[in-house]
Structure 1
Amino acid sequence: MSDVAAYPVTLPAFVPEHAPPFPGQPPAIARAPRSDTLRCSTCSMRAICMPQGLTPDELKRMEALICPSRTIRQGETIYRANDSFQSIYAVRVGSFKTVVMHRDGREQVTGFHLTGDSLGLDGVSSGHHSCDAVALEDSKVCIIPFHLLETMCREVKVVQQHLHRMMGSEIVRESSQMMLLGTMSAEQRVATFLLNLSDRLRLRGYSPAEFHLRMTREEIGSYLGIKLETVSRMLSKFQRDGLVDTHGKDIRILDHESLVRV
């Protein structure tokens, strides 16, 4: 159930054409870029989002094609469904959810994306994004214009291989999500969600046993295909059984092995 992959040189400011996230407000990603002196070589998420095995010159080239990071405020979007696909976005700080809207206006959460994850690959096939990407908290993303990345892929094999791995991860994520929704009980879905989040945090150097949920229980339920009340009931059951300790959005896993066996 791993949700996806974080990925500034100076290029002309890249401003995709997005619909505004709120009436009268310009899209967060279209605002003037902020000064950002950090580079991939000093980013703590480099091992997760950047190709491994780049030479110093290749790393400089990679940094050169990445636009300066942008700040996305909580509730703002990077892109919306049907926006033209132009870039991949790497989460440098913070977290996002991807959502699709049903015809009746209901929101369906399709993924949660953490620091080090990538966003935007949904637009590669059709040239348009298929979902909205919304910040769950104040976040930063690095912007990688896809046409420049394609050029570098043709010239640097490890970059091409890294892009292929990212796309492969999307396939694995979607198939895992189908299995979760199609074959697991509500109890197993919530347990799998907590274990997956724990593993992803561990890979990023954070505590796998204690963490703060950035998403609401309603959003978790939407992602897992169950009701808000069911999420709360399952968490309460896990607490009674001594598997986890919950205080609002703060989660502490007490018995990892038993949670795996749910």
Structure 2
Amino acid sequence: MEPSTNVLDLNLLRRSCSSCALNELCLPAGIGGDDLTRLDGTVKDKRTLERGGVLYRDGDPFKALYVVRSGSLKTFVQNEAGDTQILGFHLPGEIIGFDALASNRHASQAEALERSSICELPYAQLQQVTSEVPALHRQLMRVISREVVEEHRHLVMMGRQQAQEQLAIFLKSLADRYERLQRDGAALTLTMSRYDIANYLGLVVETVSRLFSRMEEMGVLEVNRKAVRILRPDLLADLCRNGHPTGSRRNDAG
């Protein structure tokens, strides 16, 4: 059998899951040997999407799940009038495509926010491997559970009355996900636009821009275009709970 390390994607990255920097995020602890070989065999290809590139569209038949290897994507739905609702933003190590499990057709569209590399896992082969590797099946269930938790968190954010609180929860959640990736959770790069953030939170873009400026004035953040540094995680946590830092002099509504 041809060694998997000879199969290269557009970025000349090695195909083998054992050599991937996301190994610990995607795979259960202790998986190795024959189990890794089986998993490598399910990875159909690694593709590169340029910014704005579409991974799948609403209505496309369900064929595979996808691991974000590098870059980031957004998922969204669009009605007949062209109105868009963003459902989520997806970072390296996260798996997308679960929206098609129920009906065997995707119920959303996935689009790259920047140049991104994707691993494709054909679902039929993945099912066979997970049946042979129980630890991998449990890991997949954990990932699905994490997706459900993220959807619940999104609903909680949308239900908050104070816009400041919504934005704070969004930034705190993003910081937590950065830390899970072993990246600096205090130094965020917002690959999504302010419009995308506003759409995701159910706000208008002017409100989001104003709230970023307000959080800078509070000393919570330092904002330089897409680069956001969290200066006071404690104050950000306060904002997540009640829309303003404890002890701050706030008289205006969020």
TM bracket, shorter-chain basis: 0.7 to 0.9
| In 2, Cα distance between equivalents of 1:59 and 1:184 | 47
Counterpart of 1:67, as a letter, is: K
Distance 2:222 2:167 in 1: 14
Among 237, 241, 253, the residue aligned to 2:230: 253
Q: Deviating runs (4+, > 6 A) in structure 1?
A: none
Amino acid at match of 1:247: N
**Structure 2: distance between partners of 1:38 and 1:130:** 29
1:90 aligns to what SS in structure 2?
strand
Counterpart secondary structure, 1:261: helix
Unaligned runs of 5+ in 2: 240-254
Tell me which amino acid in the other structure corresponds to 1:211.
L
- Map of 1:199 onto structure 2: 176
Deviation readout 1:164-209 (Å, 9 max, x if unpaired)? 1122122212111111111352101111111111111112122111
Judged with a 3 Å threshold, the aligned counterparts in structure 2 of structure 1 residues 70 and 9 are, in CA distance, closer, same or farther, namely farther
2:127 corresponds in structure 1 to 150
1:104 to 81, 85, 104: 81
Aligned partner (choices 146, 161, 167) of residue 190 of structure 1: 167
Matches within 5 A, 1:1-262: 34=10, 36-262=13-239
TM-score for both structures, normalised by structure 1: 0.85
Equivalent AA in structure 1 for residue 122 of structure 2: P
- Quick one: distance in 2 between partners of 1:158 and 1:9? 24
Q: Deviations over 1:25-81 (max 9, x none)?
A: xxxxxxxx7565342111111111122231311011111111221111110110000
Q: Percent identity?
A: 33
Say if 1:84 and 1:191 are closer, same or farther in 2 by CA, change over 3 A. Answer: same
State the Cα distance separating 1:108 from its structure 2 match: 1.1
Aligned mates of 1:9, 1:168 — CA distance in 2: 34
Q: Do the aligned residues in 2 keep the contact of 1:9 with 1:64 (CA within 8 Å)?
A: no
How many residues align? The count is 233
Structure (1 or 2) with the larger CA radius of gyration: 2
Unaligned runs of 5+ in 1: 1-7, 11-32
Higher relative contact order (CA 8 A, sep 6+): 1
User: For residue 42 of structure 1, what is the amino acid of its counterpart?
Assistant: S
RMSD: 1.6
